[in-house]
Amino acid sequence: MSEHDQDWKLCLTPDQFRVMREHGTEAPFTSPLNDEKRAGVFVCAGCGSELFSSQAKYDSGSGWPSFFQPLDEKILGTTTDFKLLYPRVEVHCATCRGHLGHVFNDGPPPTGLRYCINGVALRFLPRDGLAND
């Protein structure tokens, strides 16, 4: 294990490390963030970069927190993942390179995208405790 991996093991939970540094996937419907409906921002669990607004979150029925757009396109990076029988677009934090999930072309308007994100890769920061409209 590299010194860099040791550093990550100190600041991430075992589940976060498996997902964010080893490109794992959490089980569907296990993240409390899947049901989060308050106004706020979802940040990277690794570095705290602001990734998604609660206004872009929607219930995709997939079992993972889903968003139709990031706060800023530059805060996310993508690579092609060939772990399954077909290629998928993997999404990672551009700041710390932590694996977040995948993006698919089956989302709602206005983007048509579904950012399917592992809840353990996120932290939620509520704004004023208000519910989303």
- To the nearest whole number, what is the mean pLDDT of the chain? 90
Rounded to whole angstroms, what are the CA distances from 128 to 41, 55, 58, 59, 63?
Answer: 11, 14, 20, 22, 26
Does the structure show a pLDDT above 80 at 109?
yes
Prediction pTM value: 0.88
Q: What digits encode the pLDDT tens for the residues 15-50? A: 999 999 999 999 999 999 999 999 999 999 999 999
Instruction: Sketch out the chain's domains with CATH numbers.
Output: 3-131 (2.170.150.20)
**DSSP assignments along 76-125, one per residue:** EEEEEE-SSSS-EEEEEETTT--EEEEEES---TTT--EEEE-GGGEEEE
Selected catalytic residue, list 11, 47, 93, 116: 116
Active site residue 116: yes
* pLDDT score of 15: 95
Percent of residues, the chain, with pLDDT higher than 70: 90
